Amino acid sequence: MRVPFLQARYFRPLLIATTSAFLLSACSGTSLLNSVVPSGSYNVNDAIVYGEHNRQRMDIYLPDEKPHKQQVMVFIYGGSWEQGDKSDFEFIGQAFARLGYITLIPNYRIYPEVEFPDFINDVAMALSTLPQHMPGGCPSGHEIIIMGHSAGAHSAALLAADPRYLKNNAASDVHISALIGLSGPYDLPLNHERVRDKFTQVKGDEANAIALAHENMPATLLIHGESDSVAEPEHAHKFKAQLQQLEVPVTLHTYSRRRHVDLIASLASPLRFWTPAYNDIQQFLQEHGLNGDCH
């Protein structure tokens, strides 16, 4: 049962505790978050098939009100490439559908059934089918903003940095207009205990977004908590420095005393007091002309 939104302020301490527990473990605490987001502003086309595997499914959030935005928002969740489900992130779909963005959240195959680069190929495959699921006219599904959190930010960054993923998955006509990375491990440590078994097939720097970055990268927004001990803030600082050297438009926001889970949780409407991430994303989209309406 959905909790009335006006009561959400009474749930703040509980929301923070349970959301943090979920995002640091496999326990589904986001059901509480999803239950207190406002309803009635969007419809969901859920479990859309984009491949043969049972995890090759995606949800598309359609704003009720028109006009829709010209860009489609694509969100890739984290979970150390071994857990997570699109249904856990209804609060993300709501957050951006409320702003007028059709929002795609794909599932992808996970470890131990697969390893790199299958996670990223799956998202690219989902993107290749996106245009056929648009409601018609504008948006076309060919212009996207790609956003990810944690491992999902790593996947989003590689999709933006390495055009082979889109090309090899029949998605060459998809254009990434912007990259938004939340708490991402862009300079991925391949020997880390959470990483090594999932990236045994890596050749050279093909899993390192910083090394792959180039001058044609899209405008990029990086957001990181200064107290993040899962993916240290240095990842974002290094990525920013590389993009600046390449003269790619890049903005970095770091938040004091904020940890790895705080940024994604604070995109849910009851928790936006926690960090300014939602407002910073909106400002970035406005500054780069990515909030235009369909006509």
- Does domain 42-287 bear CATH number 3.10.580.10? no
pLDDT of res. 19:
52
pLDDT value of position 30: 64
Question: What are the CA-CA distances from residue 80 to residues 119, 193, 253, 270 (Å)?
Answer: 11, 11, 23, 26
Q: What is the residue-wise DSSP string for 19-78?
A: HHHHHTSS---HHHHHHTS--SSEEEEEEEE-SSSTT-EEEEEEESSSSPBSSEEEEE--
Task: Round to whole Å and give the CA distance between 206 and 271.
Answer: 36
Q: How confident is the model at residue 108, as a pLDDT?
A: 98
Can you give the pLDDT at residue 39? 67
State how far the Cα of 161 lies from the Cα of 231, in Å rounded to an integer. Answer: 19
Which sequence spans correspond to the domains of the chain? 42-287
Instruction: Tokens 């890596």: give the residue.
Output: 202
| Contacts for 286 with CB less than 8 Å, ≥ 6 apart | none
pLDDT recorded at residue 35? 66
**What's the rounded Cα separation, in Å, for the pair 195 and 150?**
12
Using alpha carbons, select from 234, 206, 211 the residue that is nearest to residue 222.
Answer: 234
pLDDT by residue, tens only, the chain of 295 residues: 344 444 444 445 555 555 555 444 433 456 666 766 666 688 999 989 999 999 999 999 999 988 999 999 999 999 999 999 999 999 999 999 999 999 999 999 999 999 999 999 999 999 999 999 999 889 999 999 999 999 999 999 999 999 999 999 999 999 999 999 999 999 999 999 999 999 999 999 999 999 999 999 999 999 999 999 988 999 999 999 999 999 999 999 999 989 988 999 999 988 999 999 999 999 999 999 999 999 8
Please give the C-alpha separations between residue 98 and each of 37, 112, 269, in angstroms, as whole numbers: 11, 36, 10
Handedness of CA 210, 212, 215, 219 (dihedral sign): negative
Cα 132 to Cα 174: distance, rounded to the nearest angstrom:
12
Give pLDDT, residue 2.
47
Q: How far is CA 39 from CA 51, 92, 152, 282, in A?
A: 30, 13, 26, 21
pLDDT score at 3: 41
pLDDT of residue 137: 81
- Residue 199 DSSP one-character state: -
pLDDT at 6: 41
